[in-house]
Amino acid sequence: MTGLSDESVDLIEGSTLADLFELYQRRFPALTSFRSSLVASRNQEFAAWETLLSAGDDVAFLPPVSGG
């Protein structure tokens, strides 16, 4: 949807996963309708939206999984 598979972003100190998602929502408004069906991950582990981010964190916003 965004055409991106990965990229790096600079955030202000104290940013959360929710803040980062908002940043992308502003760039890609179509993401807004998917927020409730996404789960966030930080450093290969599912994480709450309130989780604080640190430099070097690896973040993903994941849709429902359908492996197997």
Partner 1 sequence: MPTLSEMDWCELLRGPIDPNAAVRHVRADRDGALVTFDGFVRNESHGRRTRYLEYEAYESMALAKMREICTQIHNQYAIHRVAILHRLGHLDVGETSVLIAVSAPHRAAAFDACRFAIDTLKRTVPIWKKEFFEDGAVWADGELPPAPLPPEAAS
Residues near partner 1, by CB under 8 A: 37-41, 44-52, 58, 60, 62-68
- Helix (H) or strand (E) run with residue 25 in it: helix 17-27
Distance in Å, CB of 30 to partner 1, minimum: 15
Distance in Å, CB of 54 to partner 1, minimum: 12
Distance in Å, CB of 65 to partner 1, minimum: 5
Q: How far is CA 17 from CA 10, 31, 54, 56, 62, in A?
A: 13, 15, 10, 13, 12
> Phi, psi (5° rounding) for residue 52?
-75, 140
Give 28 or 38: the residue with its C-beta nearer to partner 1: 38
